[in-house]
Structure 1
Amino acid sequence: MERPWLKRYDSGVPFTIIYPQVALPWFLKQAAERYPFRACTIYRDRVLSYAQVDTMSTHLARWLRKLELQKGERVGLALPNSAQFVIAFYAVLKAGGVVVALNPAYKERELAYQITDAGIRTVIGLRTLRGMFASLTEYTPLERWILTDDDDLNDLQAWSEPSEKNGGQVETSREIAWSELLRRGFDRLPPLPVLDPTDVAVFQYSGGTTGIPKAAIGLHRNLVANTLQFRHWLVGMQDGNEVVLAAIPLFHVYGMVIAMSVGVALGASIVLIPDARDTDQVVHHIQAYRATLFPGVPSLYQAINRHPSVLAGAVDLSSVKACISGSAPLLRETKEEFERLTGGKVMEGYGLSEAPTATHCNPMLGENRIGSIGLPLPDVDCCIVDLEDGVTPCDIGKPGELIIRGPQVMAGYHQRPEETAQALRSGWLYTGDIAYMDADGYFYLVDRKKDLIKVGGFQVWPREVEEILAAYPGVKEVAVAGVPHPQKGEIVKAWVVPESGAGLEVEDLKRWCLGHLVRYKVPEVIEFVPALPRTSVGKVLRRELVRMEIERTRKDEKAG
């Protein structure tokens, strides 16, 4: 097949990569051997070296085996961005387990679904979740939880590997303290298993905004491939000299791969921010630790652009070399202002849980095209196919469904053969995203296939309408979706977050849209709201807005 994007690669980025036949912890082992005393994690100003993180994760892995963790068994991590997350992640993999990263902010019902679906017996989580874990044992497979919190940080920093002689036993009850496992040695311990690249590494839950969440199965070789693809893409980054700001959640595959795994492959110091909404901390840590690589989402970059200290010129952000932006469209104004403030490059990219995590990105040195998700990464083939038959390739510039094949594509969905067969066809991953490609091989997202709005037989893509409304002065954020209508079937509705003191009027916004869109695309209803519901990585939950609209309509009908 033709690959016009290869001509646009930065010098030094290979068209294809020779992937080592290793499991994901190999990167940590390599970094620990090359940079044993370099900071691996920086969390709440506590520093752990690569040698410490590697040794601690091995120690915890051996205890997991002692606790009868079987190879291929799923282990939940209910932790925010922290040193404990990094240690536990590699420990589970070294023990032969499968990481199921859980959002620690989830409520019991949300945790129960994933614990049951994945068959999780052991969770490593926050001490504050103890009561919830105890409740979950009553009706899920959960049997045991290992608890930690920030009180363990001093123990981590001062930790040295205990000898087997001071071991003793750890009570194998339902609840185990992380600190106890670190303190205790061990004897007669089963050896760690030999890992194969085809072993399962992670379950990443996907599809929660459009249906029942399902676990995408990521093999070790998938994550190794994506880590190396991005390591090669980041030309100019120097092994052993970079600092990654990890503010995006590591429990999401975007943060897990781009911030943590790529960071480890670089031998970089990973500065961990547990709450990306705390912009004060984000700005402080960029300056304090001279962050050079900063993966994030557009709303985070925009929040930094508007931060009072940044506006006052009181913060030095000049250390930032590269930012990968994903999960939502990147506006020109956000990109250009952040690049002006830092002198670095903000590159919009694209990925999904089913190809953990990235498949496209704009070049680091070459041309970045506004509105484009960039070029396919090395060894990634892409095609735009007809929406009706799913096979016929579309002409250049014509929208269709984006399909992908590459070494990072998942093995399938856990226990969902029908969904797997729908997503993986003839070696291609059908993304469900509508996109088009220009003549130079740059790709552009139009919208999600499932978010298409049908108005009187015409097709309306929400993103197109959102971009027009977002350009109106005083509009801070906007989301557009189709909502049911008793006579018309479906109408276009917009939810608009105004800038403080903007004084927006509905009719003015509609007139603005009429000046830029055909009439059937203009929102019939515009509602002003204080904020938009978002996922943990900043993606607007259009389906949640529609759900709330339907519930409100039903209540009004009953009241009437």
Structure 2
Amino acid sequence: MRGFGVVATRLHRSQAWTRRQSSSTRNVSGLLTSTASRYPARTAIVFGGDQISYAELDAASNRVANLLIEHGVRVGDNVALSCPNIPQFTPIYFGILKAGAVVVPLNVLLKAREIAYHLNDSDATAYFAFEGSSELPIGREAWSGFQAADRATQFFLIGSGASVDGLIPDQIYAAAVAGQPETFETVERADDDTAVILYTSGTAGQPKGAELRHRNVYDNVQAGVRLFEPDPAALDVYLCVLPLFHSFGQVVIQNGAIAFGGTLVLQPRFSAREALQLMLEHGVAFFGGVPTMYWGLLEALDDSVDVARLVAKLRIAVSGGSALPAKIHQEFRKRFGVTILEGYGLSETSPVASFAKYGEEPRVGSIGRPIAGVRMELINDDWSDLDDTPGAVGEIAIKGHNVMQGYYKRPEATSEAINQGWFRTGDLARKDADGFYFIVDRSKDMIIRGGFTVYPRELEEVLMEHPAVSLVAVIGVPHLSHGEEIKAVVVKKAGDCTTEAELTAWGKEQFAGYKYPRIVEFVDALPMTSTGKILKRKLS
């Protein structure tokens, strides 16, 4: 496999697969076992020149489940996974679920300090991590974070291990799963048992884990039947450029493709030019991305791209993460012949809460209407319903099958966010007379950079640890391609000689690549209220 060193996991070309379980629960792993029983020979995953059938994928997930049980992972244990869009993510994800454990996907850009925090906070007992490359040494950071964690006892590296010191042969994933049986009796889980913990942040502190039940994820996937009208008899090919550790890529793209018997074409890191070639080569029918990706596709179009052949296959294009500019809407429809469908959701809502429906004319700038089984309302600060006058602005609250169980080990944060089944999002919106919602602003201070959510408070707390920093405020500033860029406005300690470039470089060492402030500005003082709160709205 090009560019990834030794990452193959010996996905044996066996025709063995597990029959669909007779359990009445909606264990998320049933999405795979059901499709594998109906379409064993269909291609499930394409990566470079490799193709993996549903039978092979199911067998690979069974080997992972057997591996976990052999190493003492018990029902309800949490298992972390740091892995980009490569074929190993999917069998590990479903193998963890089959073993009755909980998947804790981690961003592959996290540094060792951040990884140790996530492992400790989630009480992870086992950890799978991809080795990565010299440019992105995921494995080295993962191994360091694992060694600093308190409870995690099992570590498996996806790769050769050449770049990570101190590993033993049993910790190399390919060797560890090679001898495991290809059949496994799935551990039954109740609908309300936790399936996935997705880490998100708040403005008040460190990242916290949103616990998604099996029914949350399962029902969110099934919402795709009404939204996108998949036809199991007519194979849809999904291009997965969104990170699988993120809820959008994981649930809408990966799980959606598998639930409906589609083929998942993986792109580890988004490149617009390469994405267009993959779309042409594999006849992609379903593309999901954030606005900057659509901007990239349009920029990459030239006379060398057979747009007519691409358009002939493309059926669905969906967008989320941040507002899609009207110009991109119009240009994409003009060039690709497909109207981008916008949606809205959060990790806490599994993720989809509202969407524009396939086959209906969308309202540009709108996040659509609530999906089936989900209610959305606009509320005031005190949870009271906002006057239902069209155009009134309030905070979005969501209730339905998609709302998380709560934040892991954080009852106070859960009670603040969820009231009688309603989850308050922190996002401000208005609603028109036909029930279409339009995001107006974010009541939280979060920044969305290239589709990734960044929370200023976390960065501010770490930046304050630098000896030069007296006070700091982190804000988002407009950026042409990323939507927003991260800026740190810093008051230095008297007499310190640190430069802005030096502080930027230090931040790069502390944070994941999408998080660190690219812009640092030194100022004499920060604007404040009479009570000492920083007035970020006066910063730019």
Could you tell me the TM-score, scaled by structure 1's length? Answer: 0.72
Asked if residue 417 in structure 1 is aligned to residue 426 in structure 2, the reply is no
Q: Secondary structure at the match of 2:363?
A: coil
Identify if the C-alpha distance between structure 1 residues 150 and 324 changes in structure 2 by more than 3 Å, giving closer, same or farther: farther
Compared CA separation, residues 426 and 95, structure 1 to 2 (3 A): same
1:193 aligns with 187
Report the CA distance between 1:341 and its aligned residue: 2.4
Are the counterparts in 2 of residues 240 and 266 from structure 1 also a CA contact under 8 Å?
no
Residue 144 (str. 1) matches residue 154 (str. 2) = yes
- Number of the residue aligned with 2:522: 552
The answer (yes or no) to whether the contact 1:362–1:373 under 8 Å persists in 2 is yes
Confirm or deny: 8 A CA contact 1:76 1:120 kept in the other structure. Answer: yes
Counterpart amino acid of residue 283 in structure 2: R
Partner in structure 2 of residue 180 of structure 1 = 175
Deviation at 1:323, TM superposition (A): 1.1
For 1:196, the aligned partner's letter is A
Secondary structure of the equivalent of 1:295? strand
> How much has 1:208 moved relative to structure 2?
5.7
SS at match of 1:69: coil
**Share of identical aligned residues, percent?**
28
Work out whether 1:333 is the aligned partner of 2:327: yes
Structure 1 residue 340, shift from structure 2 partner: 2.3
- Superposed, 1:357-372 pairs within 5 Å as 357-372=351-366
Asked if structure 2 preserves the Cα contact closer than 8 Å seen for 1:144 and 1:174, the reply is: no
Alignment partner of 2:279 out of 249, 267, 286: 286
Task: Say if 2:66 is the partner of 1:71.
Answer: no
Q: CA deviation at 1:110?
A: 1.5
Which of these residues, 124, 127, 133, is aligned with residue 123 of structure 1? Answer: 127
Structure 2 vs 1, CA of residues 133 and 363 (structure 1 numbering), >3 Å: closer, same or farther? closer
- More displaced, 337-346 or 113-122? 337-346
Which amino acid counterpart does residue 125 of structure 2 have in structure 1?
R
What's the Cα RMSD here?
A: 3.5
1:232 equivalent in alignment to 2:226: yes
Secondary structure at the residue paired with 1:354?
helix
- Letter in structure 1 aligned against 2:98: K
Distance 1:53 1:435, change over 3 A: same
Structure 2 CA distance for partners of 1:176 and 1:371, relative to 1, 3 Å: same
Give the superposition deviation at 1:198. Answer: 1.7
What TM-score do you get using the length of structure 2 for normalisation?
0.75
CA distance, structure 2, for counterparts of residue 178 and residue 367 of structure 1: 47
Residues 320 and 118 of structure 1: is their aligned pair in 2 closer, same or farther, counting only changes over 3 Å?
same
Q: C-alpha displacement at 1:320, in angstroms?
A: 1.2
Residue 510 of structure 2 is matched in structure 1 by: none
Match of 2:370 in 1: 376
Alpha carbons of structure 1 residues 332 and 413: separation in structure 2 relative to 1, 3 Å: same
Query: 2: distance between equivalents of 1:429 and 1:413?
Result: 12
Deviations 1:355-376 (A, max 9, x none): 1110111121112001100011
What runs of 5+ residues in structure 1 fail to find an aligned partner? 1-18, 152-171, 453-461, 464-478, 485-490, 500-532, 534-538
For residue 284 of structure 1, report the CA deviation from its aligned partner: 1.0
Distance 1:494 1:78 in 2: 27
Q: Deviations over 1:438-491 (max 9, x none)?
A: 110101111111249xxxxxxxxx99xxxxxxxxxxxxxxx9x9xx9xxxxxx9
In the alignment, the residues of structure 2 paired with residue 322 and residue 290 of structure 1 have an alpha-carbon distance, to the nearest angstrom, of 12
Per mean C-alpha deviation after superposition, the further-off stretch among 133-142 and 251-260 is: 133-142
Unaligned runs of 5+ in 2: 1-22, 133-137, 162-166, 449-453, 461-472, 482-506, 508-512, 528-540
SS at match of 2:430: strand
- Residue number among 281, 291, 297 corresponding to 1:304 in the alignment: 297
Partner of 1:527: none
The number of aligned residues is 444
In structure 1, how many angstroms separate the alpha carbons of the residues matched to 2:229 and 2:180? Answer: 43
CA distance in 1, matches of 2:202, 2:379: 25
2:427 maps to which of 422, 426, 433: 433
Q: 1:186 to 1:359 in 2, by over 3 A?
A: closer
2:403 is paired with a residue whose SS is coil
Residue identity matched to 2:120:
T
Deviation of 1:207 (Å): 1.7
Does the Cα contact within 8 Å between 1:80 and 1:251 map onto a contact in 2? yes
**Residues 137 and 107 of structure 1: CA distance in aligned 2, closer, same or farther (over 3 Å):** closer
Distance 1:492 1:183 in 2: 47
Where 2:223 maps in the other structure, the secondary structure is helix
Mapped contact 1:231–1:262 kept (Cα < 8 A): no
Partner residue of 2:62?
58
| Kept after mapping to 2: 8 A contact 1:322/1:346 | yes
d(CA) in 1 for partners of 2:256, 2:388: 34
Q: C-alpha separation between the residues in 2 aligned to 1:383 and 1:301?
A: 30
Given the alignment of the two structures, is residue 405 of structure 1 paired with residue 414 of structure 2, yes or no? no
Q: Contact conserved, 1:226 with 1:358, CA < 8 A, in 2?
A: yes
Q: Distance in 1 between matches of 2:153 and 2:262?
A: 36
Change (3 A) 1:494 1:60: closer
Alpha-carbon distance, 1:79 to partner:
0.5
- Residue 142 of structure 1, CA deviation: 2.7
Deviation of 1:130 (Å): 4.1
Give yes or no for the alignment of 1:114 onto 2:118. yes
Work out which of the residue numbers 32, 37, 42 in structure 2 matches 1:38: 42
Residues in 1 aligned to 2:160 and 2:276: alpha-carbon distance in whole angstroms: 22
Contact 1:402 1:430 in 2 (8 A): yes
Deviations 1:13-50 (A, max 9, x none): xxxxxx97321111111111111111001112210000
Classify 1:393/1:26 alpha carbon distance in 2 versus 1 (closer, same or farther; 3 Å). farther
Question: Aligned to 1:88, which of 74, 89, 92?
Answer: 92
**Which is greater in Rg?**
1
Q: 1:327 is matched by which residue type in structure 2? A: G
CA distance in 1, matches of 2:169, 2:414: 35
- C-alpha contact (below 8 Å) 1:147/1:175 kept by paired residues: no
